[in-house]
Structure 1
């Protein structure tokens, strides 16, 4: 677990934000988001803590402020997720402008809201069962905001699945990382929030560096494909792939090296084969293709030739006399034998 060396990552985070007071420029970039999402909560707390004679009125008014504050926080979800992407751009050396945070949140508002809201809802439902499962799921989905920044084309379910795979076996380390900021939280309380000017950028930097190391580990171990993070490799030949350089996205706990994609594990996900039904070949009559674009006239039916001794009647054009009909013995072999009739007068009757 050297790639998640907590002390080394935190030391590098402090070294990263120290030059030119970068921590201050980062805080100024997120300040509008912090003000908008917390001003109604602060106003409600002031109202709730004040002592007024007409308690019912201020109780209703305070509830209204709390409701408005919750609506504002829901609408600000995309900008909170864009802040994570803004921090990634910083540690990757892009030096983004402060307004890029809000431009990204606006341009991807629908996608970020869907991912953030559904992920929060799923975590809440797990928390309703027991506290511990809710905490586990919160850390399982802790990388969602960074993944969706790298690849906004992923579905909400895929983003959560990838985050779960990345953090599998490292949720305890993430929990200890958060506990290590306990004294910093106390400093914020003791200074009435002033220390947050430095602590907030510091924590954001550490979290972004943790994501980079988890992502690089997931790719190298064959747990998640590079394409899931928006990394597109261009095949150079049949055996090698080129297009991803670790120098462009530094790993903060070791020397940067050129990444070579590895084959996924045998027990990894395999796309199902296409066993869809294929219709049988139709051996029935196929109409001839007319490539001359001329209609083919159907052939007239031909009568079969008559047998040698078949009777062929003459065509009758009208009412003809029977005396004109001739019998052709060659056409039909007919033998007529006369037998005397018992009623013939010329016959003799033998008694």
Structure 2
């Protein structure tokens, strides 16, 4: 519904994938193969949920993913001839991305630009992330030297952060007409052009932090993800990972602070639980199961991050589940990548 109470027309570009069955990795592998990359399991646990929107020569993937390693190498590059660009943005979680051998651990709001004509790697332990696929000719018409940014981390902590701008767009993406999507592509390419004016030293300064603080933050994030239903106060987290509260604050400052990380991860887990399409279980039960104090608390956090309430998200999934033309599959993805690379 719109704020005026008028039903909003269904977005014809929206596609959803929700797979939690035993064969889910095989299906996800085939999906990613359509984009020109190989995927490997990281461990025993795997889960993937994808919402996708395709607007002609721009495609947006909104993913929640557990336990996958993505690689694009020279064999893939020679085989498919893809030349598009893709921008990966982390909303929350634990993700390492970049050029093979030079991957960096991302923090929420960070973006990584990839050129499909060069190798890349992205390792997702447990992540909530967005990927925007952009046509090469449209990007280079505005930013002809952008290929030099391949694999570079564009920090979310900087003023005018590209990653934060993309996440802001995504909060209203369900209502975008195709003409607006084209405008978004133009905004992204213009922002990339501005990034190119910055020095390599500025990048190094922006993404640098002590190994000790990085290690503490990672331990805290793993503890949070594994204990969402528990008391996740700063005191409890600091005590559990064996650091002082002040040390925890310093380590978590780069990702918005302890409360922000806990809220993002609980909202991401709520979205994942709803995506499993267990219609017998109430959203309120899910919210309490993962540590929200109430359904209203969970709904506010969810809407702040994703731009729609949990009920609206569940309704969209149900609607897509009964519509064959809304299903996301490898064949459809191949068509999209073909259009973008024409």
Which TM-score applies when normalising by structure 1? 0.26
Between Structure 1 and Structure 2, which shows a larger proportion of strand residues? 2
Between Structure 1 and Structure 2, which shows a larger proportion of helix residues? 1
Which TM-score applies when normalising by structure 2? 0.26
